Structure 1
Amino acid sequence: MERRGTVKCTIISSSFESPSAELVKDVQTIIDPEVNQGKGMGFAPIGHTVTIKGAVSVSIHVTTTLTLEAGISVSQVKADVENVIADYLRTLRMSWKEEDRTVVRVSQLEARILNVKGIADIADTKLNGKGANVELDTEELPVMGTVTLNG
């Protein structure tokens, strides 16, 4: 009895971002070329169709209210806060292959932002307009969108 299979593979770039169309095409050609798909011309065995797709970037827009230490302005801490957010999202992307779903957590962002020098407290944090975590599908990667700091 002949066994046939279909496999969908989602990839990311070596820099933990959405891959370019060229990278997706190159990987497709190596694994199971579209011209001869399912015929065993790549690494996939004969009778097995493999489709390569790139993970999709999802922007995470952050809005929060900061209580700043005396003499500190929002403009003085903004770059550091943006770096903290970018680092957290990169950490999530780096562990993408280990997780079935990626969850961007308000609590994790707030805890990290509180470590920025000059910030005394944080409240009303919203991700993509909601005061809740953002759950992404297996084919999605979190990337930094806009950052709005009130203070």
Structure 2
Amino acid sequence: MQNFSDATYKNILDYMLSLVPDTYDKRDTSPIQTSLGPAAYVLEGFYLSLDLVQKQAFVQTASGDSLDLLAVLAGITRKQASAAVKVGIFDCEVPIGARFSTINGTESINFVVISTITEGSTYRLQAETAGDIGNRYSGPVLPIDSIEGLNSAQLTDLLIPGENTEEDEPFRARIIERLNSRSFGGNVAQYVEEIEAIDGVGAVQVYPVWDGGGTVCCSILGADFLPASSDLVQMVQNAIDPPPGQGLGLGLAPIGAQVTVTAPKTVPVDISATLTLASGHELETVQQPAQDAVSDYLLQIRKNWDVNISSTAIAYSAEVYLARVLAALISLDGVVNVSALTLNGIAADMALQQTGALQQVPVLGKVELHGT
């Protein structure tokens, strides 16, 4: 790739003036300098445009629509925003298609009843606004249309996380990964490709022959990078290898492959630490930032939970490192030192299990901070 960063107005003008013999007046405001200046200005704009066109021609540097156009080389498209599905609990029967509104101010959105979970009381509601905005609200909702006998309406559990339109960087990473790996005939790459393309799925681990020949275990996280709900697991199961006739090739899995879709188990990570605080800082003001910092670290672990760490086999890893937790705490404003740090009561790293029979992901448990 050609580097155009030096093609500035000044450099271009200096070069043009260097081609003029020194016997002529080339000082500022001279006729030669004055006549060459506009041309140098126009050429700078030309090189800026040329640099942009060049960057938009390569997957590694393209953005926006240009990256969408290049994605055809990998045979994939950008993931579009999808709507969240949540559990609604009511004190009377509500009709399919009934609409409700949340009461969270500027983020208020509408949900519509799409199916029944328990007749007369529990339903699935889908957000009318696509994106992760539908994941965030839980609590009372108001009916948009009058429903006779309704006195209580609540949104509770998240069944299928909503996703925002895929941003450039994760989309670029998928394109490059797809170009560097070949999915074919039911190999691991194809399972990953097909399952991650399903709305609501954030990550997947694939375990071939986990329970004998022809068996495949696919463990999934939702788009929120928490274990998938039973609804999402069932949706993926039906798409890949629907029961009861598993192995018949009625889904995306090839004939003969008996696929079990599941979700990992959560392992709460309890944190205990003694903090030395700078003058003027109180333990109470550090509590929430500490929880947020450790929670962000655990989220990064879950985001990398589906990375195969072996080049010759299938192996996954999710370890909570004591030093990384310490680093998250000591980086907080007002924290001078961290001591007596333990994870689930032990001053050691935590290695979570990743096998076809059991997959685990870390989530934040109790955070107990002590001051000195």
Give the alignment's TM-score, normalised by structure 2: 0.39
Give 1:108's aligned residue.
324
Give 1:137's aligned residue.
353
Give 1:146's aligned residue.
366
Partners of 1:86 and 1:8 in 2: CA distance: 28
Pair 1:127-2:347 in alignment: no
Partners of 2:295 and 2:301 in 1: CA distance: 10
3-state DSSP of counterpart to 1:125: strand
Comparing 34-43 with 23-32, greater Cα deviation is found at: 34-43
Write out per-residue CA displacement over residues 18-39 of structure 1, whole angstroms, 9 at most, x where no aligned residue.
1000000110011101211111
Give 1:19's aligned residue.
228
What are the ranges of 5 or more consecutive residues in structure 2 without an aligned counterpart? 1-212, 310-315
Of the three residues 40, 43, 57, the one matched with 2:249 is 40
Deviation at 1:104, TM superposition (A): 0.3
Bigger RCO (CA 8 Å, 6+ sep): 1
Partners of 1:39 and 1:76 in 2: CA distance: 58
Deviation at 1:109, TM superposition (A): 0.8
Deviation at 1:71, TM superposition (A): 2.2
Write out per-residue CA displacement over residues 43-92 of structure 1, whole angstroms, 9 at most, x where no aligned residue.
11222101011111111000000011112111011111111001000011
Which amino acid is the alignment partner of residue 102 of structure 1?
A
Comparing 122-131 with 98-107, greater Cα deviation is found at: 98-107
Q: CA RMSD in A?
A: 1.0
Which amino acid is the alignment partner of residue 345 of structure 2?
G
Partners of 2:280 and 2:255 in 1: CA distance: 69
Partners of 1:110 and 1:143 in 2: CA distance: 17
Which amino acid is the alignment partner of residue 133 of structure 1?
D
Give identity over the alignment, percent. 34
Which amino acid is the alignment partner of residue 85 of structure 1?
V
Partners of 1:111 and 1:8 in 2: CA distance: 35
Instruction: From the two aligned structures, give the one with the greater strand fraction.
Output: 1
Partners of 2:254 and 2:280 in 1: CA distance: 66
Write out per-residue CA displacement over residues 87-107 of structure 1, whole angstroms, 9 at most, x where no aligned residue.
000011111111511110110
What are the ranges of 5 or more consecutive residues in structure 1 without an aligned counterpart? none
Deviation at 1:145, TM superposition (A): 0.4
Partners of 1:130 and 1:97 in 2: CA distance: 26
- Give runs of aligned pairs for residues 77-92 of structure 1, distance below 5 A: 77-92=286-301
Write out per-residue CA displacement over residues 2-32 of structure 1, whole angstroms, 9 at most, x where no aligned residue.
xx61111111111110100000011001110
Of the three residues 25, 28, 31, the one matched with 2:240 is 31
Which amino acid is the alignment partner of residue 149 of structure 1?
L
3-state DSSP of counterpart to 1:27: helix
3-state DSSP of counterpart to 1:36: coil
Of the three residues 260, 267, 272, the one matched with 1:58 is 267
Which amino acid is the alignment partner of residue 54 of structure 1?
A
- Greater than 2 Å deviation, 4+ residue runs: none
Partners of 1:20 and 1:28 in 2: CA distance: 12
